Amino acid sequence: MSWAPLAVLGSLLAGILIGERFGPSAAVGVIVAGLSVGVIAALLRRSPTRSVLALLAVVLTGCALTQRAEHGRVQWPLAEAVVERADGTITASLVDDPDGTRFTTNALVRIERGRLVDPESRDAGWRDAGGRTVLVTATDDAAPRLALLDAGDRVTLRGWFRPLDGFDERSRWRHAVAEFAATGFLDFEAPGATHMRVANTIRSVVLRGNDALPPTERALMAGFLLGDTRAIPDDVLESFRSSGLTHLLAVSGANVAFVLALVGPALRRFPRGARLVGTLTVLALFGFMTRWEPSVMRASAMAACAVVAVHLGRPARTIRVLTVAVTTLLVIDPFLVHSVGFQLSCGASLGIALFSAPIARRMRGPEWLRASFSTTAAAQLGVAPVLLPVFGSMPLVTLPANLLAVPLVGPLTLWGLGAGAVGGLIGRGATELAAGLQLPTRVMAEAVIGIADAAARVPFAIDLRAGVVLGVVVGVTALARHRRMLRRDALVVPPR
């Protein structure tokens, strides 16, 4: 395996962390330095010096990208309004689906323009807001109206600006520059972009097809299919968290594979080039449907890299695809390093790529059991370095709970997606048919809920200290085994 992609990714991560340490800046000097070092590396012949200079250029690139991203958060046309907590009106488009109740609703919006209230003239003119992202906290009559909207919708809100504070400050890693406390809902428009209208239409069809399900199962299917967990009851969410099954509610590579499997027969009718374009279009459309959650971004980027590699006749190993995909995403958005969802998604993928096959080879039993156990165990090994520091512990019941639940989630997602689409298309005039289509969905969803509830009652977990000790033991064992294999190989005399 070539270590070059991993070295590039490591250098980029180092540059991102250095950029955060230096703080906001236009980073003109860093950009010039990075370009200069990169040009010098390109002009040199293959040598260790060339490799070092190339990696240094990547470090400088990561540093510049991060500093500029931080600079965009503090330097924008309405920055003074945030400091002064000024009253105003904004016209914005929703970045994601609003989350809340009829009393309080939160949503990330991208401001197109803002108008501040001047204490003297009482009304200032509209200003271009530079497309910055703001966290809207809506109350009063704005809350219930905002809660009914979808990502991509355009709104006009009245309220006041204020800095991000407390728990809301985590939104800075989603590029939020401030908070806007909205008290008035003035206007609304449907998305202007065609891709958002198409994505929202397909999304509503799939969700409407699940209307025949009971409320909890319907909310759970929204999580399985689209990663939308807003309507899932708190006790059910807690059961999934306590049993280590929360990842099932995040759209990931399995969902992307199911979607490509559904459209595959239609795409295969087209020429090779058109098939590639169609596949990439489906991936992008699915990303907009699922609101580009971090796990969706990782899965879609990996799928795109894989299909492009196959199209070029150069299929790549999973680790290489993962490395290229993660590097590309971090170049686009260096703040992803702080997303726990992104870390978990990458960790699970890396764990499966590294450990799934070795675990399966050392197991006995039927193929389906070895494949399920090895994949689940490898994914848990991959996410452990994230779960233990962030949450302090990892449930011991996670592995058996996943072994029981994961085999159900595949058919549940595939059937629920197909039945939801069909049920949504036939409309309300055939409710009995839609309910019949969703009967297998209901049975499997209730089974998954039962597994999560039963597993959540098991009190045992691995804490951080035990996890560190276990990690050291596994690492030392792997290193010792690797050394023994090297010594064996050294005794083998190659044939003449």
Q: What is the CATH number of the domain that holds 131?
A: 2.40.50.140
| Residue 489 confidence (pLDDT) above 50 | no
Residue 32 in this model has a pLDDT that exceeds 90: yes
At residue 474, does pLDDT exceed 70? no
Residue 178 φ/ψ, nearest 5 degrees: -170, 180
Q: Is the pLDDT of residue 464 over 80?
A: no
Statement to judge: residues 397 and 277 lie in one domain: yes
Residue 354 and residue 311 share a domain = yes
425 vs 342, more confident: 342
**pLDDT score, position 300:** 92
Name every residue whose Cβ is closer than 8 Å to that of residue 55 and which is 6 or more positions away in sequence: 7, 8, 11
480 within a domain of the structure (yes/no): no
Task: Mark whether 403 and 287 lie in a shared domain.
Answer: yes
Domain range enclosing 111: 79-192
Q: What is the pLDDT of residue 468?
A: 52
Please report the pLDDT score of residue 7 as a whole number.
Answer: 93
Same domain assignment for residues 213 and 182: no
pLDDT band (50, 70, 90) for residue 463: very low
Q: Are residues 176 and 308 in the same domain?
A: no
What does the pLDDT read at residue 430?
Answer: 64
Is 482 within a domain? no
Is-contact 189 147, C-beta < 8 A? Answer: no
Choosing from 28, 48, 74, the residue where a domain stops is 74
| DSSP code for 363 | -
In a domain? residue 496: no
If DSSP codes are grouped into helix, strand and coil, which group holds residue 166? helix
Write out pLDDT tens, residues 261-282.
888 888 888 898 999 999 999 9
- One domain for residues 223 and 253: yes
pLDDT of residue 105: 94
- What the block records as the tokens of 16 is 């991102």
- Report the DSSP beta bridge partners of residue 181: 137, 160
The CA distance from 137 to 182, in Å, is 6
Structural domain includes residue 130: yes
Asked if residue 180 belongs to a domain, the reply is: yes
Residue 261's pLDDT is 83
- Whether 68 is in a domain gets the answer yes
Residue where a domain terminates, one of 59, 74, 89: 74
Give yes or no: residues 356 and 311 share one domain.
yes
Share of residues in the chain with pLDDT > 90 (%): 45
Q: What is the pLDDT of residue 417?
A: 83
In the chain, % of residues over pLDDT 70 = 89
Quote the pLDDT of residue 485: 44
- Does one domain contain both 29 and 99? no
- Beta pairing partners, 90: 114, 157
Q: Confirm if 330 and 337 have CB atoms less than 8 A apart.
A: yes
* Residue 301 within a domain: yes
**Does residue 287 sit in the same domain as residue 261?**
yes
Query: Quick one: 236 exposed, middle or buried, by C-beta within 10 A (0-12, 13-18, 19+)?
Result: buried
Global confidence as pTM: 0.86
Top pLDDT among 471 and 139 is at: 139
Adjacent-strand bridge partners of 108? 135
Q: What pLDDT digit, counting tens, does each position of 209-268 carry?
A: 888 888 999 999 998 888 888 889 989 999 998 888 888 888 887 788 888 888 888 888
Q: What is the largest CA-CA distance in the chain?
A: 94
332 & 185 share domain: no
Which residues, 6 or more positions from 250, have their beta carbon under 8 angstroms from its beta carbon? 227, 293, 295, 341, 344, 345
Phi, psi (degrees; rounded to nearest 5) at 132: -75, 155
Closest to 193 measured CA to CA, from 268, 68, 95, 120: 95
The reply to whether 69 and 83 lie within a common domain is no
Q: Does the structure show a pLDDT above 60 at 470?
A: no
> What domain count does the chain have?
3
**Would residue 64 count as lying in a domain?**
yes
Q: Of 175, 192, 209, which residue sits at a domain end?
A: 192
452 in the same domain as 326 = yes
Burial status of residue 211 (CB atoms within 10 A of its CB: 0-12, 13-18, 19 or more): middle
With cut-offs at 50, 70 and 90, classify the pLDDT of residue 427: low
